Chain A
Amino acid sequence: MNRPTEGQSGWSWWYLLLLIQFIGSLWVPFYNRIEPTWIGIPFFYWYQMLLVIVGAILTAIVYFATDA
């Protein structure tokens, strides 16, 4: 990773990755549906559980990218 990842302002462009968790969480009409089900679980439920894992991975990526 090339510097500067975190400049004087304390800001890094990597932080934009974290937006995905907000969009994925707040776009309710997208995931308020039954199909496709997974092992009998409606989409509404397994999607949000999957988003927990995706969110953790994204945060980990941002951590390693900015933690020079």
Chain B
Amino acid sequence: MPEINWTALTIFILLFALITVLGFIAAHWRKGDLDLLHEWGLGGRRFGTVITWFLIGGDLYTAYTFIAVPALAFGAGAIAFFAVPYTIMIYPILFLVFPRLWYVCHKHNYITASDFVRGRYGNRWLALAVAITGIVATLPYIALQLVGLQVVIGGMGVGGTGYAGDLPLLIAFIILAAFTYTSGLRAPASIAVVKDILIYVTAFAVVIAVPIELGGFGKIFAAVPPAKVLLASPGPHTTGLYGVYGTLALGSALALFLYPHSITGILSASSGHAIRRNAALLPGYSFMLGLLALVGFFAIAAGVATMPQFAGGFKQFGNNFAVPALFLHTFPSWFVGIAFAAIGIGALVPAAIMSIAAANLYTRNIHREFINGHLTDRQESQIAKWVSLIVKFGALAFIVFVPQQFAIYLQLLGGIWIIQTVPSVMLGTYTRWFNDWALVIGWAVGICTGTWMFIAAKLAPNYPLAIGGFTFPGYSALYTLILNLVVAAVLTLLFNAGTKTRADETVAADYRP
């Protein structure tokens, strides 16, 4: 075990103390009655363009992203860059669909996507399907945030054998749980501002400092094995990696804003305009993500993988240690403290929002709908607070007791599952044409075939779809979404033949300013 890096650790702890204080005083920020669910769970829908930018940015570009994307570039090369076209394509989708969702949710006081589906289609089972998909897809995502935290804590030399090594993680989590319980969404919103500034500072420092040290980008790319610099050209009768790259990017883009934590971030905005503006402003984060993906190549060129002082870290964390190793190698200890705090706090912000989002879903769409329909507002927000605690400690137990690879598999499956809510949620903001039961069946078909493809591809998100003599390897989520849509459309034609009445508590004007 390396020695503890005291300078870095001190700065790390100071910054954590700062955000802890911030998390608690956030309860008084734009004061609202935290006994109401939309105040606790959506910050009272009061965040303007700037705070929404920080909040959604801090929410979507998570610590895990900042560790895992460069780690993939470090290990596998060009394919990791799919994160860039992915985060390019999410913004036209955000721009076209989600202001409409914001307006209708604001009008009817919907707090979750499932609330919207319930109102739009009048079918509690379809709403339940959307709610459960959201919760199940979110849980492994929270667990993976802890991986980012673990890696930086390990990078500072703090650790131990057995469960004692997880003590720092437990402390960070208790802090997170406490301020989320007290302040609700206001806590991650205020902390996101600090976190994002730290992340931007770190990203630009590393992108300027390392190429200077290594003698320019030309030399960096010359040091990367040629097979990693570009995608391998497809062989005959297949779309090869080109198809994988494109479908991964498009499928991920369609799925992203359906995650409960994304929708919570969107619905907490103060207006549909704030969301539309952010579709043009949030790409700032995509640009930074691209820069950070390159950091994986910097780590190859700097040769951190073979440095003896990092051998222990790579052994414990695998390629996820590439970025922390590069920071330790390049920066003075005090800056390592800042950079690691950026990643560590970057884990807490999305973990907080995810747990709030899952809690909102459980409270509104499972508890209120199926267990106790006569909740007072106070009881409703109280249940949500407790559920947010349970969800977080569930995620912590998961990461401590279950092999990490399991969380990664579940998170990959989560993407395949959540995309199956595109027809009911995303298309639902534009049309009420689909039959509600047709949507339920389409969803079920998508979930089952998606899960089957994932298993058939040996627990990988890409399935080699064969049609005739041609193979299209690609992201199962996208393939199964197409199947889901076809099933839903065909059954809609069948079920709606002869019937004219459709339950819908929303009207066209609800979707506009």
Contact = CB atoms under 8 A, between A and B. Distances in A.
B74 to A, nearest CB: 15
A47 B426 CA distance: 30
Contacts of A33: 230
Interface stretch (B171-179, B244-252, B367-375, B483-491): B244-252
A56 B280 contact: yes
A53 interface: yes
Interface residues of B, number: 44
A17 to B, nearest CB: 9
A56 B290 CA distance: 15
A18 B96 contact: yes
B100 to A, nearest CB: 7
Interface stretch (B85-93, B382-390, B402-410): B85-93
Given A52-B88, A53-B287, A59-B280, A39 B217 contact: yes
B230 A25 contact: no
A18 B31 CA distance: 38
A22 interface: yes
Contacts of B96: 15, 18
Nearest to B276: A63
A33 B242 CA distance: 12
A42 B302 CA distance: 19
A43 to B, nearest CB: 9
Interface stretch (B16-24, B150-158, B218-226, B255-263): B218-226
Contacts of A2: none
Nearest to B85: A25
A39 to B, nearest CB: 6
Interface string A38-49: 011110110011
A64 to B, nearest CB: 9
Given A18-B95, A22-B92, A28-B242, A49 B249 contact: no
B231 A32 contact: yes
A40 B280 contact: no
Interface string A20-39: 01101110110011100101
Contacts of B221: 40-42
Given A25-B249, A53-B287, A42 B92 contact: no
B95 A63 contact: yes
B283 interface: yes
Nearest to B286: A52
B430 interface: yes
A45 B85 contact: no
B283 to A, nearest CB: 4
Main secondary structure of the interface of A (DSSP, over half): helix
A49 B430 CA distance: 31
Contact of A56 (B81, B91, B276): B91
Contact of A42 (B229, B290, B512): B229
Nearest to B245: A28
Contact of A51 (B85, B100, B245, B279): B85
Contacts of A32: 78, 230-231, 233, 242
A10 interface: yes
A18 B512 contact: no
A53 B218 CA distance: 23
Q: Among the interface residues A15, A41, A59, A62, which one has the most CB atoms of the partner chain B within 10 A?
A: A59
Nearest to A25: B85
Contact of A44 (B87, B230, B512): B230
A44 B78 contact: yes
Q: Among the interface residues A21, A26, A28, A33, which one has the most CB atoms of the partner chain B within 10 A?
A: A28
Given A32-B230, A59-B280, A22 B287 contact: no
B127 to A, nearest CB: 24
B100 A53 contact: no
B4 interface: no
Given A8-B508, A55-B91, A40 B216 contact: yes
A21 to B, nearest CB: 5
Q: Among the interface residues A15, A32, A48, A52, which one has the most CB atoms of the partner chain B within 10 A?
A: A52
Contacts of B85: 25-26, 48, 51
B230 A21 contact: no
Nearest to A18: B92
Contact of A52 (B279, B281, B287): B287
Given A25-B249, A26-B246, 8 more contacts: A18-B96, A21-B92, A22-B89, A32-B233, A39-B217, A40-B216, A44-B81, A55-B91
Interface of B: 78, 81, 84-85, 87-89, 91-92, 95-96, 100, 216-221, 229-231, 233, 242, 245-246, 249-250, 273, 276-277, 279-281, 283-284, 286-287, 290-291, 294, 430, 508, 511-512
10 contacts: A18-B95, A21-B91, A22-B92, A22-B250, A25-B246, A41-B217, A44-B78, A48-B290, A55-B92, A63-B95
